[in-house]
Amino acid sequence: KAGVTQTPRYLIKTRGQQVTLSCSPISGHRSVSWYQQTPGQGLQFLFEYFSETQRNKGNFPGRFSGRQFSNSRSEMNVSTLELGDSALYLCASSGGTANGYTFGSGTRLTVV
């Protein structure tokens, strides 16, 4: 069974640019969530989608957005990149809380 796949693995962007990250969940999982990991703030929740609907959103500015497609694949977009957006972005998928959440390997974003 394939795991959660995130692409790309590494990205280098310039301040002011925008970026799109992709996540393919485990087959059959309809919930996809995104987290930002930084040394200073740790792991913080960005948003969660289920059946193409955003059910929950973390405390991030509107520059951070996401969406989910009918095949459960998800993308997140960050516009007008800032240096502080440099982080490891992790995607997780779930078939239900009782089953836990499976994480991908992440996308390492560096903003210069």
Partner 1 sequence: AQSVTQLDSHVSVSEGTPVLLRCNYSSSYSPSLFWYVQHPNKGLQLLLKYTSAATLVKGINGFEAEFKKSETSFHLTKPSAHMSDAAEYFCVVSDRGGTKLVFGAGTILRVKS
**Least CB distance to partner 1 at residue 69 (A):** 18
Start-to-end CA span in the chain (Å): 37
Give the nearer residue to partner 1 in terms of CB position, either 12 or 43. Answer: 43
What is the pairing mode between strands 10-13 and 107-111? parallel
| Residues belonging to the chain | 112
Query: Judged by CB, which is closer to partner 1: 15, or 57?
Result: 57
Structure tokens at 43: 């792991």
Q: How far apart are CA 106 and CA 98, in angstroms?
A: 23
Contacts to partner 1 by CB under 8 A: 4, 31, 33, 35, 42-45, 48, 50, 55-56, 58, 90, 92, 94, 96-98, 100-106
Task: State which residue, 79 or 86, has the beta carbon closest to partner 1.
Answer: 86
